[in-house]
Chain A
Amino acid sequence: MSTEAPAAAPQTPTASAVPLIEARDIGKRYGSVRALGGVSTVVKAGEVTCVLGDNGAGKSTFIKILAGSHQQSDGELLIDGTPTHFSSPRAALDAGIATVYQDLAVVPLMPVWRNFFLGSEPTTGAGPFRKLDVKQMKATTFTELDNMGIRLRDVDQPIGTLSGGERQCVAIARAVYFGARVLILDEPTAALGVKQSGVVLRYIARARDRGLGVVFITHNPHHAYPIGDRFMLLQRGESLGTFPKSEISLEELTGMMAGGAELETLAHELARSGGSAAEVARELRAEVDALPTDTASAQSPAESPAAAAASAEPDAR
């Protein structure tokens, strides 16, 4: 009985290597609604590609295409250089692309160990007597989570009883264990507090160091910047471009995220209408002015700087 992960061969990232994933002008329509258009980016082994954008920008739509939940309406998706249309999440999984969804894709009432192996359960025996290898499943779940720093008293407890951060980490550990080459994380830190966000960011760094290509979706540049190697910005379904870390500063990233120019236009509009709206406009004005220097003002003041600090040194442990 082995507790080693089945695959997950560490890969040495080389600049010239074919990207694990390359998106070329990907677009998606829901009926007549254009949710996404002209999105291009690459995901490389041992690197983190961040996808940033406000609510409704199309981040989830984009990663659902990578994950096989949806198919692109336009553009090309290249996996290891080969044009691909995933027919199902299973097909993407088989290509080594594992996704941790915003809702985590866990079944709250099921025990942790059943959730860990869901869809890829190991069995023993043959024919009608083929049964789950329960002992190995429980032991592996325990050790894999232990390796991630989560010490569960009982892997039999329903996963719904774990905290949000712990569930997030179970989902990541599961993807890593099953030999994912690409790990897609949809807003893993959105619902978490400062400390738990830091823990999750550390796991992302650890997965990256194991040679996985990571796609990290977030609307928080303070979470993305310390860990990202390249940043793709989405706004209302349109790509604002992909920037390597060397070409963009945290301030510029935050400014683009907040849509500096747009905010300014809005402030002008509201100012003209006067009354109580003028007060809102003044506040917006202040925010726009503050943008290049004090980037944290657009964020909740308590959370962002601390979380950024926590994640600045992902391997501090």
Chain B
Amino acid sequence: MTTTDLVTVANRRSLDRSRLKRLFTRPEIGALVAAIAVLVFFSVYTGQFFSLPGAGVWLESASTFGIMAVAVALLMIGGEFDLSSGVMTGFTALIVGVLTTHYGLNIWVAVVIALIVALGVGALNGYLVMKTGLPSFIVTLGTFFVLAGIDLALTKVITGQVSIQGMTQVPLYDSIQPVFGSSVEIGGGNFYVSVLWWVAVTVVATWVLLRTRAGNWIFAVGGAQTAARQIGVPVLKTKIGLFMTTAGAGWLVGMISLFRTSTVQANTGVGQEFIYIICAVVGGCLLTGGFGSAIGAALGALIYGMTFQGITFAQWDTNWLRTFLGAMLLGAVFLNHWVRIRAGGGSR
């Protein structure tokens, strides 16, 4: 007890002095600055942006990307990618749509089944990556295409269409819809429940990363997998858990989009996996793993949502969004690279 206190007190001063400095080495600091810049820019440039109705629009837009970006960030910190994360959002929504509208299954049961299937695919991704030793980029590219094909082909075979119709007529639809798709009106703006989900996911992910054993293991398996294994970290369990987390997040976003719009297209989510990765990298995640932040990824998604809607409000050609995203990505990668060199990490 006494030695500990002594040390703590003795170190107080030096800790305090370095606190400001440490703030600037946080992974999310770049994204925070960029988010403020984007907010200020569009607030000044367009009238509607900095208002409750405006905020409702861009927060809603950011929320679903935010949930995915946070999960993808955890996975990236753990040293892996999941290219099937985008298509997973459509896949889970289609499962619920088909099971309820076509097979008449209880909607709550269908939602739970979709979650179990998603977690199963996530676990399979993780297991294949770990057992084969192949890059997750390749393994999940495979899962991505398998799921994308199933989405299109099976939906067409079973329903004869490329989207799910008639969700609102499903019994008990109204009992589950508010959980994922409800909104409240505040000052003329519509605020969706998905924003709450986004905040909750970010808070839980941050807690896990920074304050639990699992978080320590995530950083370790991404930063130096062999070292982590040698020191006794359960690498397989950690990695499979991470893949299941992104798949679970895909399910949550799938449910949110299904119950907000009461329909789902067979190609929903395809191509969005790269946006999640961009959000995570802009938020400070290293592509090589071992470094990053959940709050940063959430901020990355906020930047995406604000820019997307800001460009619409400003009535510019929305194609500029991609150019902007690409530039942000490059800026973030250069910043990360610099931080990494300063931290003295080799290629281990």
Contact = CB atoms under 8 A, between A and B. Distances in A.
Contact of A139 (B4, B22, B231): B4
Contact of B343 (A3, A118, A160): A160
Contacts of A134: 211
Contacts of B220: 107, 110, 114, 118-119
A136 interface: yes
Interface of A: 1-3, 67, 69, 89-90, 93, 99, 101, 103-110, 114, 117-121, 123, 130-132, 134-136, 139-140, 142-143, 146, 153-154, 156, 158, 160-161
A274 to B, nearest CB: 44
Contact of B232 (A103, A120, A146): A120
B293 to A, nearest CB: 13
A134 to B, nearest CB: 7
The main secondary structure of chain B at its interface with chain A is helix
Given A3-B4, A109-B290, A114-B219, A158 B344 contact: yes
A235 B124 CA distance: 44
Contact of B3 (A114, A121, A143): A143
A130 B212 contact: yes
Contact of A160 (B207, B211, B286, B345): B345
14 contacts: A105-B226, A107-B227, A108-B223, A109-B340, A110-B220, A114-B220, A118-B228, A119-B220, A132-B211, A132-B216, A143-B4, A153-B14, A154-B18, A160-B345
Contacts of A158: 343-345
How large, as a class, is the contact surface on chain B? 35 or more
Contacts of A89: 229-232
A4 to B, nearest CB: 9
Nearest to B220: A107
Interface of B: 1, 3-4, 7-8, 11, 14-15, 18, 22, 207, 211-213, 215-217, 219-220, 223-224, 226-233, 286, 290-291, 340, 343-346, 348
Nearest to B11: A142
B209 to A, nearest CB: 11
Contacts of A136: 4
A67 B211 CA distance: 29
Most buried by B among A2, A93, A140, A160: A160
Q: Considering the complex of A and B, which 10 residue pairs feature the smallest CB-CB distances, nearest first?
A: A119-B232, A160-B344, A107-B223, A108-B345, A105-B227, A105-B230, A158-B343, A107-B224, A131-B211, A139-B4
